[in-house]
Structure 1
Amino acid sequence: MVAIAILAAGRGTRMKSDLPKVLHGMGGRSLVEWVLSSVEDIHPVRRLVVVGYRHELVMETLSDSQSENPNLPALEFVEQREQLGTGHAVQQLLPHLKGFEGDLLILNGDVPLLRPQTLKLLLQTHQKNRNAATILTAQLPDPKGYGRVFRTDQNLLQQIVEDRDCTPTQKQNHRINAGVYCFRWADLARVLPQLTTNNDQKEYYLTDAVNYMKPVMAVDVEDYQEILGINDRKQLADAYTILQSRIKDEWMRKGITLVDPSSITIDDTVELEPDVVIEPQTHLRGKTAIGAGSRIGPGSLIENSQIGRNVTVLYSVVTDSFIAEGSRIGPYAHLRGHVKTGSHCRIGNFVELKNTKLGDRTNVAHLSYLGDTTAGNQVNIGAGTITANYDGVKKHPTHIGDRSKTGSNSVLVAPVTIGQDVNIAAGSTITEDVPNDCLAIARARQVIKPGWRLKPKSDQKSTDN
């Protein structure tokens, strides 16, 4: 039986932000959400988050995001009103875990790169050896500033020595404490009241609790980058780079072509099928899924959208939309607000669609805007056609039937319904419904006056020769 506790009470002053550090975003999730996701495979029976600075905002944000995982135990929030160190934060758990019989895994809310398999290994080592405590350690290339961890050949902890207290020989040891712990809760609960603030920072250190417990083991993480914490914007950017490298490496191993990986970003929440090609300067965000054989980019943004098989999206933005198989989008198209296309549609140059549904093989080839529109199958929207869907107070719908065509520079003033097999003459402004099988012309008749020109004013000399 395992409970987890995430320490997320600090402000993070070096972030230079009013937003709590753990809520800063990275790759589609906040830092603390990354930590929560890393423990899902452990199947904890309790999930506790220690909150402090702007705790209402942290609680609200996490409650909203975790509602998407109803199979997980509800989050429990524990307030740390004063931030007096890691030991003090864990002391706040005592009344909440009273009577709990099991192990407690403790993580920091600003360490987002931990892999689930690393935490599984830590927990398995802890339980297999019946340890009172097990700590995660890492071998850093440059451990300067970090306390050193010393252990026996059997991985039993001997001591933790702060960097400033290390001898020159001890400083040759590159093993440091990663700040991730697994405790037998009953043992830790007995030790926590004994912690003191007898140190330079006048804080309660969780590492001091280890000195009162036996046996304690140290487990090295395979990749030291997993334990990198976030204290400022530079470290946030560095962590994002590491995360992106992981995500893109995994997709390329699964049969996805990334033409220029360094210029591409992909959120962890994105799903890709084999033989997708992602061109340079393309960014995939949120709950996006892209079907096999599709080519996205260059220069495209896809966010919270579903893209079917064999779709092309070139220099375009697609958000909150669904694109069916075989469709071609762009260049320079913008689809937003729940657009849904049928199969084999063509959405071309400088076209904007908003809250619009298109049937199969419908084309909006260039220079058009369709808002709040439903168009049937095999509709052709001529260049420059727009739907005037807003009357200054509210939006109105436009309906276009199968196989209808609009001429260039047509305006459809909503609410209006265009029937099937209708042709609308170029330059028409349609304000009334049009029945099936019609030609609609709504424009002033052209008038030609031969020999007409502007006459010069009486006080203006003619410049004619």
Structure 2
Amino acid sequence: MLAVAVLAAGKGTRMKSALPKVLQPLAGATLVERVLASAGNLQPERRLLIVGHQAERVEQQLSHLHGLEFVLQQPQNGTGHAVQQLMPALKGFSGELLVLNGDVPLLRAETIDQLVSQHRRSGADVTLLTARLADPSGYGRVFADPEGRVSEIIEHRDCNEEQRQNDLTNAGIYCFNWEALMTVLPKLSTDNDQGELYLTDTVAMLDTAMHLEVSDPDEVNGINNRQQLAQCEALLQQRLRDHWMAEGVTFIDPASCTLSEACSFGQDVVIEPQTHLRGRCQIGDNCRIGPGSLLEDAELGCDVTVLQSVVREAKVGNGVAIGPFAHLRPSAVIGDQCRIGNFVEVKKSELGYGTKVNHLSYIGDAQLGTNVNVGAGTITANYDGVNKHRTIIGDESKTGANSVLVAPVTIGAKVTIGAGSTITKDVPNGALALGRAKQLVKENWAG
């Protein structure tokens, strides 16, 4: 059996944030969610999160993760003290305990799988993850023989000058034999520079300790401040872009674009510079997005272009052209071969096949049929000050420039709305509707 415990009790003072460190966002997910996901392939029987600082807030934000158990560490007195809090929760448990840090979010699932597999093969009491760093300052040093057997770990602040020359560092990731660990946890001492209980001290107490050195030290980058958070964001974004470029997506200027892991792309997609995709975006074949566009939880069909526009929680069909400077808001559904032009906003509306809203219009709470032509400056006035109302426009109708359709109102099929009209009543199929004030001209007005 396998239990996974994530250390997530710290305050993260150096982040200078009201938000707990483990809830800081990284490429669309919190740090701790990324850590938990990295162990997902293992399908552990137990998942435990050790919380402390703002524990209620952490528990509330992670309440959607089913089967996650929360263990309180109060006060926070070191990593060893944190794992001691697991003893009541894991009473009677037999198997391995994988200990992860809530602020080390770049670990690959393959690396954790390898750590657990090696631990099981070796029969060691503990197997820890290590990394060789060009600058190991601040990291605990791991002392091991050529066969990988670890004798001890010494925290940086407790190392002498000779010991600090060792560049093999402790990544803070461990796979323990839980029954062996339970026998030494009560023996931990605060006799060290910081006066805390170190989990690292258990390594010297256990009979057999092994280590696995990661091939990519960036995987074990910890986050303690905003600079390190930005560095991890850059590394993760590069991973994501590299993956999708290998799958056939073109990034014209990769470094200027960001995306989330929940994004998916078809073939021959082109991402122009300064384009950002967040949340769960699904992009079909042959789309071209950007430059200067933002998509969030958007679904695009094939052959769609999005130029300097924002698309949020909207569904777009095939062959659609969007922008420049368009805004598709939540619950917008755009049919195939539509055109959404410059300075057009669409919210909670459905547009049928071939419909065109080319410029300077607001379409809200509306249903437009096929091949509707919306003239420049057309507005669906959907709000009466208390409630929102629907506008319905039938197939092949067209509105003149600067028209206002005051909802609730139904415009039939093949209707023409005269330019400058304010329409407050339903219009039948095939009609011409005009709603203008009478023009008044007073000659010789200029004195």
Partner Cα distance (1:418, 1:166) in 2: 80
Identity of aligned residues (%): 55
Partner Cα distance (2:158, 2:42) in 1: 37
- C-alpha RMSD of the superposition: 1.2
Partner Cα distance (1:298, 1:161) in 2: 51
Matched, 1:453 2:444: yes
Return the TM-score normalized by structure 1.
0.94
Q: Which residue in 1 is equivalent to 2:176?
A: 183
Q: Which residue in 2 is equivalent to 1:343?
A: 336
Partner Cα distance (1:16, 1:279) in 2: 34
1:249-328 to 2 correspondence within 5 Å?
Answer: 249-328=242-321
1:25-64 to 2 correspondence within 5 Å?
Answer: 25-64=25-64
Partner Cα distance (2:423, 2:433) in 1: 8
The 1:454–1:201 alpha-carbon spacing in structure 2 relative to 1, beyond 3 Å, is: same
Q: Which residue in 2 is equivalent to 1:80?
A: 73
Structure 1 unaligned segments of length 5 or more: list them. 68-73, 457-465
CA shift at 1:144, angstroms?
2.2
Q: Which residue in 2 is equivalent to 1:396?
A: 389
Q: Which residue in 1 is equivalent to 2:437?
A: 444
Number of corresponding residues? 447
CA shift at 1:210, angstroms?
1.1
Judge conservation of contact 2:153–2:201 (CA < 8 Å) in 1.
Answer: no
Q: Which residue in 2 is equivalent to 1:242?
A: 235
Q: Deviation per CA, 1:402-424, whole angstroms, max 9, x where unpaired?
A: 11100000000000000111111
Return the TM-score normalized by structure 2.
0.98
User: Counterpart of 2:71 in 1: which secondary structure?
Assistant: strand
Q: Which residue in 2 is equivalent to 1:14?
A: 14
CA shift at 1:169, angstroms?
4.8
User: Counterpart of 1:178 in 2: which secondary structure?
Assistant: strand
User: Counterpart of 2:87 in 1: which secondary structure?
Assistant: coil
Partner Cα distance (1:267, 1:249) in 2: 13
Structure 2 unaligned segments of length 5 or more: list them. none
The residue type equivalent to 2:129 in the other structure is L
Partner Cα distance (1:196, 1:169) in 2: 24
Q: Which residue in 2 is equivalent to 1:193?
A: 186
Partner Cα distance (1:210, 1:102) in 2: 18
The residue type equivalent to 2:152 in the other structure is Q
Q: Which residue in 2 is equivalent to 1:151?
A: 144
The 1:455–1:164 alpha-carbon spacing in structure 2 relative to 1, beyond 3 Å, is: closer
Q: Which residue in 2 is equivalent to 1:140?
A: 133
Partner Cα distance (2:439, 2:162) in 1: 96
Partner Cα distance (2:251, 2:200) in 1: 44
Judge conservation of contact 2:151–2:204 (CA < 8 Å) in 1.
Answer: no
From the CA coordinates, give the structure whose radius of gyration is larger: 1
User: Counterpart of 2:103 in 1: which secondary structure?
Assistant: coil
2:353 corresponds to which of 351, 360, 363? 360
CA shift at 1:143, angstroms?
1.1
Q: Which residue in 1 is equivalent to 2:327?
A: 334
CA shift at 1:448, angstroms?
4.7
CA shift at 1:158, angstroms?
2.1
CA shift at 1:18, angstroms?
1.5
Partner Cα distance (2:315, 2:256) in 1: 25
Q: Which residue in 1 is equivalent to 2:5?
A: 5
Partner Cα distance (2:155, 2:39) in 1: 29
Partner Cα distance (1:438, 1:383) in 2: 20
